[in-house]
Amino acid sequence: MTRLRVLVTGGSGFIAGHCLRQLLDQGHLVRTTVRSPDREAAVRLVLAGVAPFDADALSFATADLTSDAGWAEAVAGVDVVLHVASPVQPGHVDDDDDLVVPAREGTLRVLRAARAAGVRRVVLTSAFHAVGWGHPHTDHVFTEDDWTVLDGPGVDAYGRSKTLAERAAWDFAAEGGPELVTLLPVAVMGPAMGEAVSGANHIVQSMLSGAFPALPNLFIPVVDVRDVAAAHLLAMTAPEAAGQRFLLSTGPALAMGDIGALLRARLGDAAAKVPTRTLPDFAVRLGARFSPRLRQAVPDLGYARRTSNDKARRLLGWHPGDPGDAIIAAAESLVHKGLVHS
């Protein structure tokens, strides 16, 4: 295996942390960005908590998506960039630009620095939110050929940020520069490496903490964060990946009630607060009159999006595991780390 020099943006993040761990395990030379040099010790501690690694194979650069400062140094001498960092806040926000601007402008900032440094390939972490929202509810199977309809129903600020950032990246790539690959994971769950609760692990945390009196009639397509990280590493080197989008999914979307039932079956007493009742749709609609968060959920009541991961399997050789394993790994790690609120 060729030892690559890889930059991972946002090293303290959920997906980025798993990418770092797998890159180090495979013997690559890795640099990661943090917004403050004070974060270096914490990131090293989190990674070492999973397993020992060669400390000299990991270095740090200070850079922020909202500023040009530090990015030239971050990409210097790098073969591949995994641009994972992006604001994550699904649901209602008061100002869409709080997510859209740093996502889009930050992506372009990283791509400009990569082009200037002669980086060979950039792998961008986009999201299924850039694919499957704003469409009519049909039996359509979503693939990489689909794009979220920005003025369609149910599109939140996070969906707009991921869609606009990825669109901007492809426009930039069309002008020449590094090869671009984009990855589009569905809801990401799996073992938390540090003390932060990120990605769709928030859903598991809320269920275990008793935050839901009953579970709404919503469906969540789940993928394991470890499989998402593995896809990033495959996308670094697969020749066929250049210029391609890849949807990362693992099968049918899961009803929230089924996720709750799985937690109760596998975690015993730790899942005692997971609700057993389903919240009627009319109650969600009634609550949506007063709650922006519930209002965002109304268009998706009873709708399970269908997805295909055929392209990632064919061109990347990607073989994801069971989404149930991701859910249980998330739950067990949250319980073990004391991140389930009483």
How far is the C-alpha of 176 from the C-alpha of 72, rounded, in Å?
18
Q: How far apart are CA 18 and CA 329, in angstroms?
A: 14
Q: Give the DSSP H or E segment for 315.
A: none
Kindly provide the b/e burial profile for residues 79-98, where b requires at least 16 CB atoms within 10 angstroms of the residue's own CB: bbbbbbbbbbebeebeeeee
**Distance in angstroms (rounded) separating the CA atoms of residues 209 and 270:** 9
* Helix, strand or coil, per DSSP, at residue 181: strand
**C-beta neighbour count of 117 within 10 angstroms:** 18
Place of tokens 């010790």: 41
CB 162 within 8 A of CB 182: no
Q: Let me know if 337 is a catalytic residue.
A: no
- Per DSSP, the residues of 223-241 read EEHHHHHHHHHHHHH-GGG
DSSP-H helix ranges across the chain = 14-25, 40-50, 71-75, 97-117, 157-173, 201-208, 225-237, 256-267, 281-288, 292-297, 310-311, 323-336
Q: What are phi and psi of 112, to 5 degrees?
A: -65, -45
Q: Which of 314, 146, 169, 143 is nearest to 240 (CA)?
A: 314
Tokens representing residue 253 in the block = 């979307």
The helix or strand, by DSSP H or E, that contains position 151, with its residue range, turns out to be none
Active-site residue set: 162
